[in-house]
Amino acid sequence: DIQMTQSPSTLSASVGDRVSITCRASQSISSWLAWYQQKPGKAPKLLIYKASTLESGVPSRFSGSESGTEFTLTISSLQPDDFATYYCQQYNSFPYTFGQGTKLEIK
Amino acid sequence: QLQLQESGPGLVKPSETLSLTCTVSGGSISRSDYYWGWIRQPPGKGLEWIGNIYYSGSTYYNPSLKSRVTISVDTSKNQFSLKVNSVTAADTAVYFCAKMHSSGAFDSWGQGTLVTVSS
């Protein structure tokens, strides 16, 4: 199985900050990576697919990038609605695997 | 607007079978560019992919669960289903059904349903 290692596990930040979350794959997944946002009691919401393509309707302050097997989700200017847990997911090969999650908290 | 809704018992006894159904509305489950999946999330923990199915019936399962899991599709009802045999407390989780984007990510999700395994 491909292991997805996310960091940090928790991130404290303020409204207006620029933040980044990293996800490292244990082997090559090409660009087959998605980022999701999940709020308590809700289903995950797709933000980015194919490493850097913004899902329709997602604000442009969210962006994704990749460098080899390291992938980054960046939020350019945090808004109050962005405080949530974020997961990466590889869909290069079965079994699909998720990172362990990053909880973005208000500082 | 495609919508997915999970349904099924919220409480299952140990060693019995967990059965859930996902009803798709606002679109056809038989679209050739869609795959359908099940994902679960134990309370307070992360996401685990269970398996995918195509409208033709082709399935892909997580090996960690493969021997206990069956996913099926009923195109006449626009539904797909999940069965997990021989459940234990470790199978207690919120179970989500989801549609796979043409690129492979899950772009539409049900609200999730909590299944508790307890006697």
Residue B104 has pLDDT above 90, yes or no: no
Residue B16 is predicted with a pLDDT of 98
* Mean pLDDT of the region A14-22: 97
* Mean pLDDT of the region A73-79: 97
Q: Which residue of A has its CA nearest to B46?
A: A100
Phi, psi of A83 (to 5 degrees): -75, 115
Under 8 Å CB-to-CB from B42, ≥6 apart: which residues?
Answer: B48, B90, B92, B93
Chain A residues whose C-beta is within 8 A of a chain B C-beta are: 1, 32, 34, 36, 42-46, 49-50, 53, 55, 87, 89, 91, 94-101
* Mean pLDDT of the region B22-38: 94
Of B48, B104, B112, which has the smallest distance from its Cβ to A43's Cβ?
Answer: B112
Residue A26: count of CB within 10 angstroms of its CB = 13
Please spell the DSSP secondary structure of B29-70, one letter per residue: TT-TT-EEEEEEE-TTS--EEEEEEETT--EEE-TTTGGGEE
Question: Alpha-carbon torsion B74, B75, B76, B78, what sign?
Answer: positive
Under 8 Å CB-to-CB from A84, ≥6 apart: which residues?
Answer: A37, A38, A39, A103, A104
Please judge whether B46 and A50 are an interchain contact, meaning their C-beta atoms are less than 8 angstroms apart. no
- Cα distance from A95 to chain B (closest Cα, Å)? 5
User: Using the 8-state DSSP alphabet, how is residue A46 labeled?
Assistant: E
Residue B55 is predicted with a pLDDT of 86
Residue B102 is predicted with a pLDDT of 75
Q: Which residues of B66-94 are buried (b: 16+ CB within 10 A; e: fewer)?
A: eebbbbebeeeebbbbbebeebeeebbbb
Residue A50 is predicted with a pLDDT of 97
Residue A6 has pLDDT above 80, yes or no: yes
Pair A107, A13: CB distance under 8 Å: yes
d(CA A7, CA A20): 9
- Read off the pLDDT band of B101 (50, 70, 90): confident
Average pLDDT, chain B: 95
How far the first Cα of chain B sits from its last, in Å, is 39
Residue A57 has pLDDT above 90, yes or no: yes
Q: Quick one: which H or E segment has residue B100?
A: strand B93-100
Instruction: Classify residue A31 by burial, with Cβ atoms within 10 Å: 0-12, 13-18, 19+.
Output: middle
- Read off the pLDDT band of A37 (50, 70, 90): very high
Please judge whether B46 and A101 are an interchain contact, meaning their C-beta atoms are less than 8 angstroms apart. yes
Q: Which residue of B has its CA nearest to A55?
A: B107
Q: Where are the alpha helices (DSSP H) in chain A?
A: none
Q: What would the pLDDT profile of B69-88 be if each residue is shown by its tens digit?
A: 999 999 999 999 999 999 99
